[in-house]
Amino acid sequence: MSSWLPVPQDSHFPIANLPFGIISTTSNPNPRPAVAIGDYAIDLQAFASAGGFESVPEIQLHLSAFSATSLNKFAALGRPFHRLVRKHLQRILRSDTDIPSLLRDDKARRDLVVIPRSEAINHLPLEIGDYTDFYAGKNHAYNVGVLFRGEENALQPNYSHIPIAYHGRASSVVLSGTSIRRPWGQVLKDGTPAFQPCEKLDFELEMGIFICRENHLGEPIPISMAEDYIFGYVLLNDWSARDIQAWEYVPLGPFTSKNLGTSISPWVVLADTLEQARQPGLPMTNPIFPYLEDDEGATIPIVELEVEIHSK
């Protein structure tokens, strides 16, 4: 599938992706939903106002979601709705679109709707009310465990039996590019606590998952329904002050060492986009309780990620 909009061959945002985000511009400072394609952003508020969704009644019922200042309202409409919107946008943006008059051949409408991403100002895509940091990657958990406990005790006995996580500070989740200040905290120096700036600031390349549905207090979500609650994915950098963490994490877990900031990318890749990337995960090394067993099969989206460090 190709688009009539020019998309660089190495772009992370081809027409097959179309991630969602929140943008503003100098000419219109109001934050509003958009999708990214190549080097452009499609202003969904302008598109909706120009009648871009008139041919899809199911979308027309929820046009207010495209005027919101965050994606929360759009996300809450659920995966079938996200799928419908993405499919409609792909239909309009593809090279062989059957409705060229809606955008491709209408210059006046294009000028309103299609914005160079270099002119778009990104904002946090959703209002984040809660943030849970899961210890989901076994190799990552092992490597971090070696830092604190050595190879013999890298993984705690409970790791292969129960999901390991802690609640982080939602208010310090920031957009990628936001400056992170090196924290001060207590560290153990030659057996004596000292209060000083962090000397072992670490990064963690992770994937953040946004949830699009709620559950009632005291009513857990069955694992068979868990994927229905996923809105989409972002890249996430879980900044960690390792020397502070080593002294403070016993017995209740990290605190100051982890709340200094968590960086996320601005564009949310919808859950449906990664369906074709699903592969079997790591095999379990021991039996697990039925409430953790997924009848659909143990497949997960496999995404290859790399980090390049550029020092100043």
Numbered residues of the known binding site for substrate: 135, 149, 245, 249
Token reading at 44: 């969904």
Residue located via tokens 């095999």: 283
Query: Which residues are part of a known binding site for Mg(2+)?
Result: 238, 258, 262
**CA 282 – CA 205 distance, rounded (Å):** 19
Query: Which residues are part of a known binding site for Ca(2+)?
Result: 133, 204, 206, 238
The pair phi, psi for residue 63, each rounded to 5°, is -65, -25
Alpha helix (H) residue ranges in 132-285: 138-149, 242-248
Active-site residue, 123 included = no
**How many residues belong to the chain?**
312
CB-facing half-sphere around the CA of 136: CA atoms within 13 A:
10
From the centroid of its chain, how far is CA 296? 23
Which one is catalytic: 140, 167, 216, 310?
Answer: 140
Query: Which residues are part of a known binding site?
Result: 133, 135, 149, 204, 206, 238, 245, 249, 258, 262
CA 120-125-126 angle, to 5 degrees, is 150
**CA 155 – CA 152 distance, rounded (Å):** 8
Token reading at 158: 């409970």
SS3 state of residue 57: helix
SS3 state of residue 137: coil
The overall longest dimension of the chain from CA atoms, in Å, is 73
Contact in structure between 20 and 27 (CB atoms under 8 Å)? no
Catalytically active residues are 140
